[in-house]
Amino acid sequence: MEISNFLKQKISSQNWKTPFYYYDFNIVEKNFRDLENSLSNRFKIFYSMKSNPHHGILTKLKSLGCLLDISSIGELDRALAAGFTGKEISFVGPGKSQEELIACVTNNIEYTVIESIQELESFAAIAKNYDKIKKVCLRINPATYYHPGGAARNMSPVHFGIDETEVLNAKVIFDKNKHIVLAGLHFYLQSQFLDAAVIVANFKSFISCAVKLEAGFNTKFEMINFGGGFGIPYFQGQNKLDLSLLKDEIQALLKSEESSSLKDTLFFVESGRFLSGPAGFFVTKVLYTKKSYGKNYAVCDGGITQHQAAVGIGQILRRNFPIRAVKMKEDSKTNEVVTIVGPSCYSIDILGSDVELPQLMPGDAVVIEQSGAYGPTFSPENFLSRPKANEYTNESE
């Protein structure tokens, strides 16, 4: 059934209460399979739980053989509850506490991604204390990278990872501490790359960096995590990532001379929004419609406290996510340009500016697409003590 009709049925049945997120696990599965297919069986995928930790999404991805990228003990608890084991997990983040580093050791997390020399020293001490030998991968800030526009840039200062130019300072720590083993490297430049050629150009330079660092550390890496930053189109003018181009570029990369010396190295990527984003829809009900000095407004029961990303926090220039109307009574013949706002007394609580939609009435619903990633996890749910959004799925009644 077409998504608007499906949601209309669920809202009218009064079983599903707005505002809510709706997640379709079939879309999660399709996205996973599409990405897997484009990357070839040389790469395994970590799902970045930060984008959406919903239990159903985790269990679906686990059933497909996906691994998990986590960043906190809370995420670890959710991972274990969904049936993942430490062997399937990579723990990333520039500020891991002692408690978190201990959790990496005691839960047998396969790859602890270390982001500073001091963190490496702490982790080595903890591993020694627990008398365990732990794999570490070092998060690297390469000296240059291809930014989403495609041009090569020098890396700007950043509080993540360790600079490529500094990372060999870690060698002495590995040499001194037998409880840590350098398993490999981790790269993550940024999110929202929509050009497959640029993604793979970066992968290629990570390979050159890895080859140099193997020589510098005098080791063979077991693995490289290439990150990814696989984007999804949110705004007008953005196109979907071209997966057939991604596939071709990856094939060329794997055949290249640079990668031949890494033929036994495990390759990984990590991805959040590409897998979960298109699978989620945020649905809010129109409470009132009104005009102010000639401009139409629809005031809804959901907004910034449930879906901050759609409000535009984090964007330099606010743009609208894809929005559609679900008319509850008649199909209006006339369209109107309307600004869709949330219920808070915060002037930036705007879900859609000047959107052309069939004329909205109280009781109609507004659906924000591409909302499966960074919805509840990126929203100030405590602001104004407003209700949290409900979460339903294609498996909910």
Ligand X SMILES: Cc1ncc(COP(=O)(O)O)c(C=O)c1O
- Tell me the closest approach of the beta carbon of residue 272 to ligand X, in angstroms: 3
Cβ neighbors of 293 (< 8 A, separation 6 or more) are none
Which of 8, 78, 96, 273 lies at the binding interface for ligand X (CB under 6 A)? Answer: 273
Per CB under 6 A, contacts with ligand X among 65-104 are: 69, 92
Q: Is 188 in the site for ligand X (CB under 6 A)?
A: yes
Q: Which of residues 216-255 bind ligand X (CB under 6 A)?
A: 229-230
Q: Note whether 57 binds ligand X by CB under 6 A.
A: no
Closest separation between CB of residue 374 and ligand X, Å? Answer: 7
375 binds ligand X (CB under 6 A): no
Rg over alpha carbons for the chain, rounded to the nearest Å, is 23
Which residue in 273, 111, 105 sits closest to 186, CA to CA? Answer: 111
Distances (CA, A) of 206 to 124, 186, 228, 324: 26, 9, 11, 41
The b-or-e profile of 289-324 (16+ CB within 10 A means b, else e) is: beeeeeebbbbbbbbbbbbbbbbbeeeeeeebbbbb
Residue 197 CB, shortest distance to ligand X, in Å, is: 18
Q: Which is nearer to ligand X, 189 or 367 (CB)?
A: 189
Give the C-alpha distances (Å, rounded to integers) separating 301 from 70, 208, 312. Answer: 32, 51, 18
Identify the three-state secondary structure at position 119: helix
CB 184 within 8 A of CB 225: yes
3-state class (DSSP) for residue 187: coil
Q: Which position's Cβ is nearest ligand X?
A: 272
The region of 101-109, 121-129, 246-254, 267-275 touching ligand X under the rule CB under 6 A is: 267-275
Nearest distance in Å: CB 222, ligand X: 19
Burial of 372 from C-beta contacts in 10 A (0-12 / 13-18 / 19+): buried
Min dist. Cβ of residue 249 to ligand X (A) = 18
Asked if residues 222 and 186 have their Cβ atoms less than 8 Å apart, the reply is no
Q: Does 373 bind ligand X (CB under 6 A)?
A: yes
Residues near ligand X (CB under 6 A), total: 14
Residue type, 274: F
Give the one residue of 51, 296, 306, 320 binding ligand X; rule: CB under 6 A: 51
Q: Which CB sits closer to ligand X, 48 or 202?
A: 48
Interface residue with ligand X, options 90, 141, 177, 191 (CB under 6 A): 191
Residues forming a β-bridge with 292: 295
Can you tell me the distance from the alpha carbon of 162 to that of 270, in angstroms, rounded to the nearest whole number? Answer: 19
In the bound complex, what is the minimum distance in angstroms from residue 161's beta carbon to ligand X?
9
For residues 10 to 49, the per-residue mask of contacts with ligand X, x marking binding by CB under 6 A and - elsewhere, is --------------------------------------x-
Contact region for ligand X (CB under 6 A) — 145-153, 198-206, 266-274, 338-346? 266-274
203 binds ligand X (CB under 6 A): no
Q: Which residues would be at the binding site for ligand X (CB under 6 A)? A: 48, 51, 69, 92, 188, 191, 229-230, 270-274, 373
